[in-house]
């Protein structure tokens, strides 16, 4: 595959413009071609991927840099579809900023307009270097820089909020177009980060956290769902099979066979 960047500048700019105060980007996270296309058909202009879904489908743990090729194949399948694509790339599948930049260049070459990069609470300088390298290699790619201070359990309290902000400051100075703090659900802390940042804040939707209208009022400009849809799909499949075994009608909505089959029409032709 060529690593030349053929990204559509208008698409990249359009994706960045969706991160609006008062009307945030609500980003569903898909795990394969069918889930992405069905979500886009419901009117979502941009689709993200979920690294957990990609890893689980491959039979490997999430967050272990084991799904570089699977992630790239999914981006190739989705990059030419009529929606904007942001790819969850874990930590970039390498600790080497140049290797992360090369991967980002491949994503841009197949049509992705965004990349999500997580720090895993690793060294701030290393993650900042990855961000800077990606922005140099693929300037139009929207870099959503994630910090795991709250996600991995050490972000509580004012000291934790301060440590989170120091990381986010370093990432936005390195060129991040947006920042992501999964696991943060406290409205006051969310508002404090919004006020302190120069770039859009992405919050992970949580059923136990602020609802979308409240997050909008707080100034959050991107709300994603991470692995929630994938896990819900797995749960629905298991429950449906349990209903069948018990002699009950399988509950819940499901696309028809023909509708799902049609999602692949025209692919691989010509």
Per DSSP, the residues of the chain read --------HHHHHHHHHT-BTTB-EEE-EESSHHHHHHHHHTT-SEEEE-HHHHHHHHTS-TTSS--HHHHHHHHHHHTTSSSEEEEE-TT-SSS-HHHHHHHHHHHHHTT--EEEEE-TT--HHHHHHHHHHHHHH-TTSEEEEE--TTTTT---HHHHHHHHHHHHHHHHHTT-SEEE-TT---HHHHHHHHHH-SSPEEEE--TTS--HHHHHHHT--EEE-TTHHHHHHHHHHHHHHHHHHTTPPPPS----HHHHHHTTTTTT--
Taking residues 29-39, what's their average pLDDT? 98
Taking residues 217-227, what's their average pLDDT? 98
Residue 252 gets the label, from left (phi > 0), alpha (psi -120 to 50) or beta, of left
Taking residues 197-216, what's their average pLDDT? 97
- Binned at pLDDT 50, 70 and 90, residue 30 comes out as very high
Taking residues 210-229, what's their average pLDDT? 98
For residue 6, pLDDT over 80 is answered with no
Q: Which CATH architecture has domain 9-261?
A: Alpha-Beta Barrel (3.20)
pLDDT for the residue 8: 81
pLDDT for the residue 157: 56
Instruction: State pLDDT tens for residues 144-160.
Output: 999 999 998 765 655 58
CB of 104 closer than 8 Å to CB of 75: no
Average pLDDT of the chain to the nearest whole number: 94
Instruction: State pLDDT tens for residues 101-140.
Output: 999 999 999 999 999 999 999 999 999 999 999 999 999 9
CB of 55 closer than 8 Å to CB of 84: no
For residue 5, pLDDT over 80 is answered with no
Rounded-to-integer distance, Cα 49 and Cα 63, Å: 14
Taking residues 8-33, what's their average pLDDT? 96
pLDDT for the residue 265: 83
Is the pTM for the entire model greater than 0.85?
Answer: yes
pLDDT for the residue 152: 86
Instruction: State pLDDT tens for residues 135-191.
Output: 999 999 999 999 999 998 765 655 589 999 999 999 999 999 999 999 999 999 999
CB of 30 closer than 8 Å to CB of 229: yes
């Amino acid at each position: 595959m060529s690593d030349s960047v053929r990204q559509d500048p208008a698409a990249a700019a359009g994706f960045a413009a969706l991160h609006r105060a008062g009307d945030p980007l609500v980003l569903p996270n898909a795990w394969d071609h069918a889930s992405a296309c069905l979500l886009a058909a419901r009117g979502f202009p941009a689709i993200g991927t979920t690294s957990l879904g990609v890893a689980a489908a491959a039979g490997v743990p999430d967050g272990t840099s084991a799904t570089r090729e699977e992630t790239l194949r999914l981006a190739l399948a989705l990059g030419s579809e009529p929606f904007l694509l942001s790819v969850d790339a874990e930590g970039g599948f390498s600790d080497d900023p140049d290797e992360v930049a090369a991967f980002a260049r491949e994503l841009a070459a197949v049509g992705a307009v965004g990349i999500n990069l997580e720090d895993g609470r690793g060294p701030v300088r290393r993650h900042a270097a990855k961000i800077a390298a990606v922005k140099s290699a693929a300037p139009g790619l929207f870099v959503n820089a994630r910090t795991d201070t709250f996600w991995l359990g050490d972000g509580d309290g004012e000291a934790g909020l301060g440590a989170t902000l120091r990381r986010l400051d370093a990432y936005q100075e390195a060129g991040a177009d947006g920042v992501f703090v999964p696991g943060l659900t406290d409205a006051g802390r969310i508002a404090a980060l919004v006020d302190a940042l120069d770039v859009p804040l992405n919050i992970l939707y949580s059923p136990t956290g602020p609802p979308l209208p409240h997050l909008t009022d707080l100034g959050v400009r991107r709300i994603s769902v991470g692995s929630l849809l994938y896990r819900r799909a797995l749960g629905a499949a298991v429950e449906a099979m349990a209903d069948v075994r018990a002699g009950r009608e399988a509950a819940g909505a499901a696309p028809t066979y023909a509708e799902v089959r049609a999602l692949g029409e025209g692919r691989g032709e010509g």
